[in-house]
Structure 1
Amino acid sequence: MAYRYRCGECGFKTPWLPQSEGERRQVEHYVARHPGIPPAGQVEINRKNAGGCGGCLTAAAVVFLLFLFASLALHR
């Protein structure tokens, strides 16, 4: 999933990023622009922009292996 962090003090927002990178950029923004104020605001989650389809790839690999093992078992 991709995350976008919005500042609670001004109009700043991060681009769509992995969670840890978005958090890091929000903290850096607060340190530079709002010193002494704890980071706050909103976090948006983009489930469509997940940075690939790792779950789909894993499922396809499992199905392929099952067919492979079934095929080998039938040919014994």
Structure 2
Amino acid sequence: MRLPEDVEQVLLDQGKIAAIKQLRESQGLSLKEAKQWVESHPSQYQAPVNPPLVASSIPWGRIMLALLIVGVTVAIFATG
């Protein structure tokens, strides 16, 4: 049996757990029934397990290097 359109969209956008929750709420199913229904659906509807990571715009490597340089400089002058 085909999933309702709203549940298919949730499955694509938010993943399996959210789709199971949506299906339970909309159809009044038990957790087991909803899980079986979602998992029996064709794999083309499954959301990716590991969505691509968004690259951070903060240059953490440069920040850590700057902190290291400041720390070493402070240590040199403190021992003076």
TM-score interval (norm. to shorter): 0.3 to 0.5
TM-score (norm 2): 0.42
Larger relative contact order (CA 8 Å, sep ≥ 6): 1
**Structure holding more strand per residue:** 1
